[in-house]
A and B are shown apart, each in its own frame.
Chain A
Amino acid sequence: AQRVTQPEKLLSVFKGAPVELKCNYSYSGSPELFWYVQYSRQRLQLLLRHISRESIKGFTADLNKGETSFHLKKPFAQEEDSAMYYCALQETSGSRLTFGEGTQLTVNP
C-alpha cells in the first residue's frame, strides 16, 4: 500500500531563511508526487508536481528515488509562505491520491 509521511507537524522559520519541508513515501510502483498548499481561509490547491520539474513561488522539489523522498525547498522564505503544506502521491494506475499528515509552516517577520 502507498504511504506518505511528513515528519514535521510544525515548522517555524524567520523571513529570509531557507526552508525545507520533508516528505518521504513508500510505493511499489513508479511514483508521481505533488505538493499541495492551503493558505489561511483559502482552498487547498496544487503547488507543484515533480514531473514538471518547475519552480512555483520560489519553491522547488526534487524526487529522490534512492531515499524515497520529495522534499520541498525554498532558499528565502517569505511571510506569505505561511500555510499548511501537504505532500501527495498518485498511484500509477488508478485514481487514488494519498496525502501525508501535513506540515504547518510559519514564517516569522
Chain B
Amino acid sequence: NAGVTQTPKFQVLKTGQSMTLQCAQDMNHNSMYWYRQDPGMGLRLIYYSASEGTTDKGEVPNGYNVSRLNKREFSLRLESAAPSQTSVYFCASRGPYKGELFFGEGSRLTVL
C-alpha cells in the first residue's frame, strides 16, 4: 500500500518547455488534488478532481492543465513552463473524512 505516489521527484526545465507531473493513489479515493507550495505563501490549490471524470480550477490554475485519467491517476501538465512555476508540487487524495488529505512526497520543479 504505497498511498499517493508522485513522479518525478525532481525536474529542471527551460522556459517554454512542457512536462507532466504524474500522480497515482491506491486507496480507492474519489477526490484528488494538486497544490503548489511556495515560501511564505503556503499551499495553494491549482486544480482538483472531486470524482473520476470531473476537474475544477483552484486558486492558481493559470498555466496548468490536468487530466483525471481514471480513479487512480491525476496528472498535472505545464504546457509552456515559466520561471514563476518554479515550486514544489504536491498531489493529494481525500480519505473518507472531509478535510483529511493524504499527500505525496512532492515534486520539486525548477524552471530556468
The residue of chain A having its C-beta at the shortest distance from the C-beta of B58 within the complex is: A96
Question: A32-50 interface mask toward B, CB cutoff 8 Å, 1 = contact, 0 = none?
Answer: 1110100000011110010
Question: B52-70 interface mask toward A, CB cutoff 8 Å, 1 = contact, 0 = none?
Answer: 0000101100000000000
Chain B contact residues (Cβ within 8 angstroms of A): what range?
20 to 34
CA distance A88 to B99 in the complex (A): 8
CA distance A33 to B59 in the complex (A): 19
8 Å CB contact of B41 from A49, A95, A101:
A101
Chain A contact residues (Cβ within 8 angstroms of B): what range?
20 to 34
Inter-chain contact B103/A98, CB cutoff 8 Å: no
8 Å CB contact of A99 from B40, B43, B106:
B43
CA distance A109 to B29 in the complex (A): 41
CA distance A103 to B35 in the complex (A): 17
Inter-chain contact B99/A32, CB cutoff 8 Å: yes
8 Å CB contact of B42 from A43, A45, A86:
A86
Which chain A residues in 66-108 approach chain B with CB under 8 Å?
86, 88, 90, 94-102
The residue of chain A having its C-beta at the shortest distance from the C-beta of B33 within the complex is: A97
CA distance A36 to B90 in the complex (A): 14
In the complex, which residues of chain B have a beta carbon less than 8 angstroms from the beta carbon of A97? 33, 45, 94, 99, 101
Does chain B have a CB within 8 A of A65? Answer: no
Given A43-B104, A95-B31, A95-B94, are A90 and B99 also a contact pair (CB < 8 Å)? yes
Binding site for B on A (CB under 8 A): 6, 9, 32-34, 36, 43-46, 49, 86, 88, 90, 94-102
5 A-B pairs besides A98-B59, A100-B42 with CB distance below 8 A are A44-B90, A44-B101, A49-B97, A86-B42, A99-B45
